[in-house]
Amino acid sequence: MARPTSNYRCAQCGTASPRWSGKCADCGAWNTLEERPLPARGSLRRSGASEVAPVPLASVDPLGGRPVATGVGEVDRVLAGGLTAGSVTLIGGEPGIGKSTLVLQALASASLAAGGARTLLIAAEESAEQVRRRADRLGAPVDNCYVVETGELQVALEAAGRLDPDLLVVDSIQTIGDGSIGSQTGSTTQVRECAQALAHYAKATSTATVLVGHVTKDGALAGPRALEHLVDTVLSFEGDRHHALRFLVATKHRYGATGELGLFEMGETGLVSLDDPSALLLGDRLAGVPGTMAVPIVEGRRPLLVEMQALFTPSHTGAPRRVVQGYPASRLALILAVIERSLALPAGGADAFAAVKQRIRVTEPAADLGAA
């Protein structure tokens, strides 16, 4: 098959495209695609490639490249030990959920943990003074933490090159930009190119790197979704802003298993790792109230007690309602069908509601009995 000999790039937003088109698929601008010759095949080979010799797998040190604990217990639990040198981790979450708080606590704690890591925060959203005030409020020690207040990628990379930190945090990937790219900071192109450059820096210098990214409720914002394939680990920080409970889950992790759940309580002095989350999850439970039940589930490798609530009322419309929160609607429908068939109760015609308290999302089949 013939190999394409050229590709195109939008002069406005920088998005590459394999073929010419009148309109840029990314930014929608007209007549902006410009031709760029591809490098000849031979030149794709790295110069000095002959120096890269294959090594016997048996001679590779299995203890090399092991994660280093951040010292924030729940973060280390989700990361299966901590952050690995040279790895890139993306933490996504809605604005205001507590991402900046979490990374600042992790920076401070990593600087105290094993050997005292040198840490650098690229503050692209907040001023250095704001970061310092927050650290004071959190009671976070900042002796080994450095900060650079910039929204420019080149400044950030230069600062990192000068300090050579063990841990680099960029807060956030949407507010940092590369001036040599024509498009606006925060655009898909900028976010992708900056993440790529930071990932390159992380690998080249063996720096554990964390990128903070905002996502909206539907995850649609330019950024985190587009970055998932570029990074080694994707963490999602979630919770209900009306409650203090926060969850941290890994949706992708190249250095360990996903599925562990990290739990925090957001309080006056920041995020507190919850060793015994059931106490918070069941804290104000009124035992014996009809329609409520404490249900044991397993999230990752940890057993949890959550409260499930269910309600049945006669339906006054032709189409009975099925309302769920934290529990899959399809499973509620299945359970109603089983109840109707096996217990001969007229479940199908009633409005049914099922909720898990604290908005914790339950996927475990064991919760079905509780719902029933």
Residues engaged in binding ligand TYD (CB under 6 A): 93, 95-101, 134, 137-138, 266, 268-270
The tokens for 176 are 């940092």
Angle, in degrees to the nearest 10, between helices 153-163 and 188-205: 10
The CB-of-186 to ligand TYD minimum distance in angstroms stands at 15
Residue 341 interacts with, from Mg ion, ligand TYD, none (CB under 5-8 Å by kind): none
The yes or no reply on residue 175 touching Mg ion (CB under 5 A) is no
Phi, psi of 213 (to 5 degrees): -135, 140
**Least Cβ distance, residue 171 to Mg ion (angstroms):** 6
- How many helices (H) and strands (E) the chain has is answered by 9, 16
The stretch among 42-50, 97-105, 246-254, 358-366 that binds Mg ion (CB under 5 A) is 97-105
CB of 214 to Mg ion, least distance (A): 8
Of the two residues 192 and 214, which places its CB atom closer to Mg ion in the complex? 214
Our CB check for ligand TYD shows the closer of 170 and 367 to be: 170
- Sign of the CA dihedral 201, 203, 205, 210? positive
For residue 354, the number of C-alpha atoms closer than 13 Å in the C-beta half-sphere is: 24
Kindly identify the residues of this chain, within the stretch 186-215, that bind Mg ion according to CB under 5 A: none
CA atoms within 13 A on the CB side of 217: 2
CA–CA distance, 268 with 325 (Å, rounded to integer):
28
CA 344, 347, 348, 353: dihedral to nearest 10 degrees? -160
Binding track over 307-346 against Mg ion, x by CB under 5 A: ----------------------------------------
Q: Report what 186 binds from Mg ion, ligand TYD, none; CB cut-off 5-8 Å by kind.
A: none
Q: What is the smallest separation between the CB atom of 99 and Mg ion, expressed in angstroms?
A: 5
Mapped onto helix, strand or coil, the DSSP state of residue 262 is strand
Residue 144 interacts, among Mg ion, ligand TYD, none and using kind-specific CB cut-offs from 5 to 8 Å, with: none
Interface residues toward Mg ion, by CB under 5 A:
100
